[in-house]
Structure formats: structure tokens, C-alpha cells
Structure 1
Amino acid sequence: MPPRPDIDTTDFAPWRIRLGHWVEGVPFTRFIIALIIINAVILGLETSPAVMAQAGGLLLTTNALILAVFVVEILLKLVAFGPRFFRSGWNLFDFFVVGISLVPAAGPFEILRALRVLRVLRLLSQIPRLRAIIESIMRSLPGIGWTALLLVLIFYVFAVMGTMLFRDSFPEYWGNLGASLFSLFQIMTLESWSSGIARPMQEVYPWIWVYFVPFILISSFMVLNLFIAIIVTATQSIHADEEELARQEVLRELRNINQRLQRLEERN
């Protein structure tokens, strides 16, 4: 497996290219994934006082050895890729997670002891499928932001209407704008909205369905489908980019082969 396409290895020394191929290769990556899983199990066992009383020393030692391997991995990547290591967001994520683990978790840094569990999230950077999912979500954020703005406008309009119409009869749900927004959020999630809010209000306002049905259709179904559509589109875009990078890699290899053949012909 060659280095990830977000790291350009052009003009690198041959030994650094070979090191980059090895540290990003399948065997070493699988080894790191196995260590991440073992580390996750150890961190879970450390939450048990009984287990720590029986094998606390062994768990802490194993945890320290795994952390040492992670540090060596980061150092190897720094040697292989140089400053270009920091051009990859995933490398920055790994560097940050491993760096937090190296800070002594004592005194004001006691909270960092709990943050060690972030090492489990390194699976996101090591497994290509998970990495693709996160990248698709990140790429879809601009579209999701505009959709979220649309949802906020819908919430605001219905909250103002609900407060004006129902605050006298049902102040616990519609007494002010904040309470109305919270009630609408509960309705959007479809959590006990019928028995808890709609049915009691229907006894006073038989036409209440005119208010609830459009809001549920717009917020729970239309907007949710917009979120899904945006993420799916971003995922397809990432797959297209990966295919383009693969084609470029093949063309690069073909050019290299062609140059080698030309040099051989010139020598002959």
C-alpha cells in the first residue's frame, strides 16, 4: 500500500519513500490497529477496581508499551514524510491524540487521564472505510450548515406561532419562546409528542393537527432527508476523487515505466 494520497512523496530520497511505503503498508497498519483495539480493552479494564487490584501493574505496563509503539510510529512517519506529515489532517489527529497521552496526568492535567480513551479514535485514521465516512461528513458540513439554518428558521416561525396561540392554555409547553422551542424539538424527535403534548391540547383545540402535522412533515421528514442527501452526495464525491487519484497513480507508474524503457533503449 503506498502512502496516503494526501501526502506528496515527490522528490523524496529513495530510502524515505521505502520507509513511507512500509509505515503506511498493510502489515504495519494492521499491527497498529490491533494495538489500538488492545489498548481500548485495557482502558476499559482500568475502570474496574477489582481488575486493577488483580492485574493493575500488568495493564499499566502494557499500556505504556503500546503508547511507546505509537510514539515510534509517529516518529517514523515524521522521518519518512518530513514537514509534509503535517499537511494531512489525519496525521495531525494522530499526533494530537498521542501527544495528549504523553502529558503527565497529574495536578491541573488530571483531566487528561480520561482523555487517554481518545486513542481508541485512532481507528478512524487507520481504517480506510471509517476514514471515508468521516471525510464525507466533513465535506458535507457546508451543505448541512445551510440546511440547519433552514431548520432554525422553521423552528423560530413555529415557536413564535405556538407561543402566541397556546401560552395561555398550556404555559408549561408554550409559555415563552424557549419553552416553545423545546416543545418543538420534542415533537420533531417524535418522543411522546402525541400522548404528552398533542392529545391534551386537542381537547382544547380540536384543530391542533393543522399546526402539528405540517411542522412534523417539514422538520422530521423533509429536513432529515435533506441531511441524508447531502451526506450521500459528499460520499459519492469522495469516491470519485479516490478513483481519480487511483487513475493518476496508474498514469504516474506508466510514465515511470516508459522512462525506464527509454533509458534502456538509449543504453542499447
Structure 2
Amino acid sequence: MDALKRLVEHPVTERAILALVVINAVTLGLETSPSVMAAYGGPLRVLDQAILAVFVAEIAARLAVRRLAFFRDPWSVFDFLIVAIALLPATGPLQVLRALRVLRVFRLITLAPSLKRVVGALIGALPGMGSIVLLLSLVIYVFAVMATHLYGPSMPDKFGSLGISIYTLFQLVTLDGWSGEIVRPAMEMHPYAWIFFITFILVTSFTVFNLFIGVVVNAMQAEHEAEQIEKTGRPPVSLDDLMQELKRLRGEVAALKGAAAERSA
């Protein structure tokens, strides 16, 4: 069992599995090409099954080494589910499950530490992002009610009902054709409509979306600090901490200079 544990946790094994994941991603992409499948379909299917067999053997080895602790690690459970989905029969009514084989590419997340940090930060940012989504929804709803009253009679295709107005304003949030398709046609009938739409774009696309960025950046910083604490047992030193330490050292140096001057006098 110790030998199996060393094999499973050896860096060479991890790099080999990572290489197989990349190769498997390439083969799954090639299988979408009819011309490639006509010429090399047989070898690609054999290679795909061989890589899947290696993945199954690796998961089985990790299960044997870690036992119940395997299922207490969310990333291990993630690996297990992806490989289990790939083992489901993909014939008859379950033919659609063949498309789910591409989920094996997501194993790159569990094998690359940098990707794990990014995903962990995104998961940690979900509560804050949920609050921002709620705020954005409220803003869109309020502006949609106003737009329906203001522009609904003259532009029923864009603001004829509350639902249509919400969809149109969501298009404005994405800045997809906001000027030529929405704002300029509205200005032909309502010359000052630009005030309404520019205000909406500034509030949503520029302000609220920057809140998204701030939440994600904070989550990334928290993930980095947690990783540093796990590795070193102490949090990383911030710029504020360095400045405080520098001020303390300056104070001590000034006190020493003062004491030296008193002695010399």
C-alpha cells in the first residue's frame, strides 16, 4: 500500500495524467470532424478508450490509498464524477451522453494548482456576486418599467412590454448594438432619449460590472492568503505591515540617536 501511495502521489504520475488529459482533449476535438473520423476513426476510438482506462485505474488507486478520505476532498469527488460519467453507456437513448465525455477536460482544473486557485476564488466570490446580480436585476427592472412607459408606445418592438424592455436593456448591458439598434432609433422619435440610455449604461456596464471585478479580485487575494497560511503557517506580509514596521524601526533609530547624543553631551 505504501508503494501504491508513493506511485499515486509521485510528481511524475501527476504530470503523466495531466499529459493524458491534454491528449484526450485533442482527440475529443478531432472526433467532431467527419473527415478525420473517416480516416483515423478506429485509432482515435482505441486511444480514447485506453486513456479512459488509465483514468479509471488512477481513480481506483486513489480510492485504495485514501479510502473514505477520498470522498472528503471535493476535488477528488469532482474527478470521480467526471470519470464515472464517461463510463456510462452511450448507445440508444443515452447517445447524448457521448457529448459529456468532453467533461474529462475539466480534470485539468484538479491537476493544475493555478487553475484550482482560480476556481476556488470564483467559488468563494459566489456570495458576493449573488448580491451584485440582485442589485443589477433591481436596476434593470426599475429602468425597464420607466422605458416601457416612456418608449413603449413609439417602439413596441423594443419596449412594448415589461418583458421586452428587460430583454432590450439586458442587450444594452452587454453593449451589443446599443447605439445603432436601440439608442439612435429611439433618438429619432425622442431626441433626449440618450440621457436615459447613457445613464443606464453608466450605472450597469461600467459601475456594477466593476463591482464584479472587485469581488473576484478580493476572492483571489483571500485564496492566495489562505494558500500562504497553509504553506508557511503565517499570512503573507502586506504593504501596510511593511510600512508600520518601517515606522517602528525609524522610531527606534531616532531613540538610539537621542540616547547617543545625551551620552556624548
Same fold flag (TM > 0.5)? yes
Report the secondary structure of 1:161's partner residue. helix
Could you report, residue by residue, the CA deviation over 1:205-234 in whole angstroms, capped at 9, with x for unpaired residues?
122122112111110011111000001100
Matched residues in 2 for 1:154 and 1:186: separation? Answer: 14
Matching residue of 1:27: 12
Higher mean Cα deviation, 112-121 or 204-213?
A: 204-213
Q: Percent identity?
A: 47
Select which of 205, 221, 226 maps to 1:236: 221
Matched residues in 2 for 1:246 and 1:128: separation? Answer: 13
Structure 1 letter corresponding to 2:83: V
Select which of 191, 196, 200 maps to 1:206: 191
Q: How far does residue 61 in structure 1 lie from its aligned partner after superposition?
A: 1.2
Matching residue of 2:58: 73
Matched residues in 2 for 1:201 and 1:27: separation? Answer: 62
Structure 2 letter corresponding to 1:221: F
Could you report, residue by residue, the CA deviation over 1:39-68 in whole angstroms, capped at 9, with x for unpaired residues?
111112222222222222211111111111
Report the secondary structure of 1:47's partner residue. coil
Matched residues in 1 for 2:148 and 2:21: separation? Answer: 51
Q: How far does residue 106 in structure 1 lie from its aligned partner after superposition?
A: 1.0
Alignment of 1:152-231 (within 5 A): 152-231=137-216
Structure 1 residues 192 and 233: alpha-carbon distance in aligned structure 2, compared to 1, 3 A threshold:
same
Q: How far does residue 194 in structure 1 lie from its aligned partner after superposition?
A: 1.1
Structure 1 letter corresponding to 2:133: A
Matched residues in 2 for 1:23 and 1:124: separation? Answer: 18
- Root-mean-square deviation (CA), in Å? 1.6
The TM-score with structure 1 as length reference comes to 0.83
Alignment of 1:38-187 (within 5 A): 38-187=23-172
Report the secondary structure of 1:60's partner residue. helix
Matched residues in 2 for 1:240 and 1:164: separation? Answer: 50
Q: How far does residue 160 in structure 1 lie from its aligned partner after superposition?
A: 0.3
The TM-score with structure 2 as length reference comes to 0.84
Gaps of 5+ in 2: 235-265
Higher mean Cα deviation, 123-132 or 147-156?
A: 123-132
Matched residues in 2 for 1:150 and 1:220: separation? Answer: 13
Matching residue of 2:22: 37
Q: How far does residue 247 in structure 1 lie from its aligned partner after superposition?
A: 2.0
Matched residues in 1 for 2:228 and 2:127: separation? Answer: 23
Matched residues in 2 for 1:124 and 1:92: separation? Answer: 13
Q: How far does residue 99 in structure 1 lie from its aligned partner after superposition?
A: 0.5
Q: Which has the higher helix share?
A: 2
Structure 2 letter corresponding to 1:166: Y
Q: How far does residue 159 in structure 1 lie from its aligned partner after superposition?
A: 0.2
Moved over 3 A (4+): 18-22
Structure 1 residues 38 and 137: alpha-carbon distance in aligned structure 2, compared to 1, 3 A threshold:
same
Q: How far does residue 143 in structure 1 lie from its aligned partner after superposition?
A: 0.2
Matched residues in 2 for 1:236 and 1:203: separation? Answer: 48
Matching residue of 1:254: none
Matched residues in 2 for 1:42 and 1:188: separation? Answer: 38
Could you report, residue by residue, the CA deviation over 1:207-266 in whole angstroms, capped at 9, with x for unpaired residues?
2122112111110011111000001100110111111111249xxxxxxxxxxxxxxxxx
Matched residues in 1 for 2:6 and 2:143: separation? Answer: 56
